[in-house]
Structure 1
Amino acid sequence: MAAAPDQDNPPPRKLPRDARRSQLIEATIETMAQNGYARTTLTQVAKAAGLSHGLVNFHFQSKEGLLLETLLFLAEEYRQNWTEALAASGPSAPEELRALLEADFNPAICTPARLSAWCSFWGEAQSRPIYQERCGANDEEYNRRLEAICARMNAEHGYAVNPARAARVLRVVTEGVWLDMMTMTSPYDLTEAQATVMTAAAAFFPRHFTG
């Protein structure tokens, strides 16, 4: 006798449209982590998602469309992550700076597959103009917030750093740690990654951060 359908966990083909798109994007992230940007195919994504090739075409029309939607998904996920971290932090500049820097190592977004997908997009020249056109405003917002917090550290706590340069260094260090975690043979864990970035913060704001 056939088992009754699980109402809480419908089979992939029965999922709502938005849930199926999310499922395909997650499968794309995993596939890119294994194969890279150029070698990812719709067939591989469909297999990873447990769906038919036709369903992938139905939702995204082409590989380029699927990869673009995956990039936009990752960019929005990243933006939501750091804005929510700031909203949940205390109001002081040190609290906000710590929350912003720690947000990049939230286990929900800092996974091996997501880091590999980001690396694939960063290394693919054709994705850069599209990213800048569609997501550049997100980066500018992040940079402005980080620079403004560094300026508040000066005003409220007596530091005298160049806010734009301090923000740039902290951003570059964070991105460098992400790259380290993607490419090292024996990558360090999230705790060590956060500690590395806090060491950079301590160079600018030693009374509030430790290396």
Structure 2
Amino acid sequence: MDKFSLRRAELAAAALATLSEFGYARTSLREIAQGSGFSHGVFHYYFRDKVELITYCVREYKIACIAHYEEIAVNASSAEQVRLDFAAALAASARDDTAMHRLWYDLRNQSMFGNDFQADVAEVDGSLEQMIWRIVTAYAAFSHAEVALSRSAVYAVFDGMFQQALLGIHTGNNDAVAALQEGVWQVLPRLLDGFAPPPPPAG
């Protein structure tokens, strides 16, 4: 990585705390600079505007996130390991990186009201969908079954669960992370063809 790219990465990392706390609409490039310890001029030299900075931040974070999740499918040796590791990883990410994920959803929502983020958001969203699909298809392969839903439907299931967990965390629901982990663990088998629900309790 050249010096320019290294500097951009350094500035983006410094900006994330302010961005993650206040979100896109409530944060100007000047406020980002004030919260980061770098000058406004430095940010303007390396990033054209706030849009470019935020897009860079989210893209870099999601690249790292996707690489981490893909290790689950690569390193797994059984369906149950995929199930447990994926549920635990989503829960840990929601708990440990709440602010960053909130920024992602903020950015994705903003893309519906203008063109600034649409292409970048679509690319990142597509990468996340592919990542989820690789994990679910790995689980299906270990289970000797086929996935019952389309790739986009599978992504919508987990994306919705994850966003609900973030909302719960934000509003002080102490059970949100555990509920996400349990929910993912329960949902995975239900995405496969031939899933038979357990019988109702006797009595």
TM-score exceeds 0.5: yes
Where does residue 106 of structure 1 map in the other structure?
Answer: 92
Over 3 Å counting, the alpha-carbon distance change for 1:161 and 1:138 in structure 2 is closer
Comparing 135-144 with 28-37, which one deviates more in the overlay?
Answer: 135-144
Count matched residues: 187
Which structure is higher in RCO with an 8 Å CA cutoff and minimum separation 6? Answer: 2
Which runs of at least 4 in structure 1 moved beyond 6 Å after TM superposition? none
- Which ranges in structure 2 are unaligned for 5 or more consecutive residues? 198-203
Where does residue 148 of structure 2 map in the other structure?
Answer: 162
Asked whether 1:78 is paired with 2:69, we answer no
Report the Cα offset of residue 109 of structure 1. 8.1
Contact 1:23/1:49, CA 8 A, preserved across alignment: no
Report the Cα offset of residue 90 of structure 1. 2.8
Q: Deviations over 1:161-191 (max 9, x none)?
A: 7254884575245323443345424353644
Where does residue 176 of structure 1 map in the other structure?
Answer: 163
**1:1-211 mapped onto 2 (5 Å cutoff):** 17-87=4-74, 89-107=75-93, 110-124=96-110, 125=112, 126=114, 127-132=117-122, 134-152=123-141, 154-155=143-144, 162-164=148-150, 167-168=154-155, 170-188=157-175, 190-201=177-188
Comparing 64-73 with 19-28, which one deviates more in the overlay?
Answer: 19-28
TM-score w.r.t. length of structure 2: 0.71
Report the Cα offset of residue 60 of structure 1. 0.9
CA distance in 2, matches of 1:183, 1:109: 10
Identity of aligned residues (%): 19
Contact 1:151/1:163, CA 8 A, preserved across alignment: no
TM-score w.r.t. length of structure 1: 0.69
The structure number with the bigger radius of gyration is 1
CA distance in 2, matches of 1:27, 1:107: 20
The one-letter code matched in structure 1 to 2:14 is: A
Contact 2:20/2:102, CA 8 A, preserved across alignment: yes
RMSD: 3.3
- Which ranges in structure 1 are unaligned for 5 or more consecutive residues? 1-15
Over 3 Å counting, the alpha-carbon distance change for 1:154 and 1:168 in structure 2 is farther
Q: Deviations over 1:84-135 (max 9, x none)?
A: 3333x43222212332333223359842321221231122123343311x33
CA distance in 1, matches of 2:8, 2:79: 39
CA distance in 2, matches of 1:24, 1:187: 33
